[in-house]
Amino acid sequence: MAIAAPSRVTRHARLKRSPLALVISQVRFPPVFKVMDQDFISPVQEAIRDKYPVVGQEHEIQMILGPQGVQQSPGQKQWRFMSVDGMWSIVLGQTAVTLEARSYTDASEYFERFAEVLNVVRTHVRPSLVERLGLRYVNEFRQPQCDSAQSWHGLIDGGFLGPLDGELGKRFRVSRTIQDITLEKGPGELVSLKHGFIPDGTTVTAIPSPDARMPAVGPFYLLDIDHFSLRRHPFEIDGMMETLDKFHSVIYDLFRLAITPDLYERLEPARG
């Protein structure tokens, strides 16, 4: 069976110093309770075992950003199928399938992998409907000289910095900022935009693998963009992949809007 993929994938300059901490695509569907049974999930494991040989059960972790920083809240059980290096994971639960990547060559590679995952899910799990379709990019910008919220002046667009770019930022040393914005793109289609200065750590959960790359540490500016649709529709892969390609373009436009040309050049975009 041919693997469904977007007829085109919007291409952008590859960044040598990419701030990408995590990219996630997810399809939510009505509950399939047998997913947590080993006999039911065994054909799924066989279909993906070459690329994702490490398997285990875990509780879904919800990351909550608040005044006290990043907090975690446990959710339902799910399966995690992971590459040996921990860079790629498929997470499958009773109500959703997710592909996570902590690094990739380009967007085409990522979309091709997700299309493969959706084909396996369609064959073996057989969800009837899609209740939510989303694509999320978590960027954590780290610059050696940027150890305070105000130090991002000239690197993050002034419209995003908001009060920090004015008198408030001049009078006070701001220890932490988080802004949570919801944008409407159409009926049932939204963009969740979270951004701000965080003095240490990471917003990305560590992968439980001895081979996984250690997360970056130190102060950073977060740009977390989640584009999703809440419109119910059949589990039709070609249409979903085309939609995700459009989401990818919107996310990239917001990425470029948030950073200045100076910061973009510091990320070392490939030329030609």
Residue 120 located in a structural domain: yes
Reported as a single tens digit per residue, the pLDDT across 220-244 is: 999 999 999 999 999 999 999 999 9
Six token digits for residue 256: 């470029």
Please report where in the chains the tokens 């040309």 appear, as a residue: 261
Check residue 61 and give its pLDDT.
62
Per residue in 57-113, pLDDT tens? 987 665 555 555 555 555 678 999 999 999 999 999 999 999 999 988 888 999 999
User: What is the three-class DSSP state of 99?
Assistant: strand
**Within a domain: residue 8?**
no
User: Which structure tokens are listed for 19?
Assistant: 């701030």
Asked whether residue 60 is domain-assigned, the answer is yes
Structure tokens at 79: 């399966």
pTM, whole model, 2 decimals? 0.88
pLDDT of residue 210: 54
Q: Is the confidence at residue 33, as pLDDT, over 50?
A: yes
Whether 15 is in a domain gets the answer no
174 token code pair: 């701001």
Indicate whether 191 belongs to any domain: yes
Region 195-215: what's the mean pLDDT? 74
Range of the domain at 253: 20-266
Answer whether residue 209 shows pLDDT above 80. no
The average pLDDT across 7-18 equals 74
Number of structural domains found in the chain = 1
Q: Which two structure tokens, joined as six digits, stand for 241?
A: 């992949």
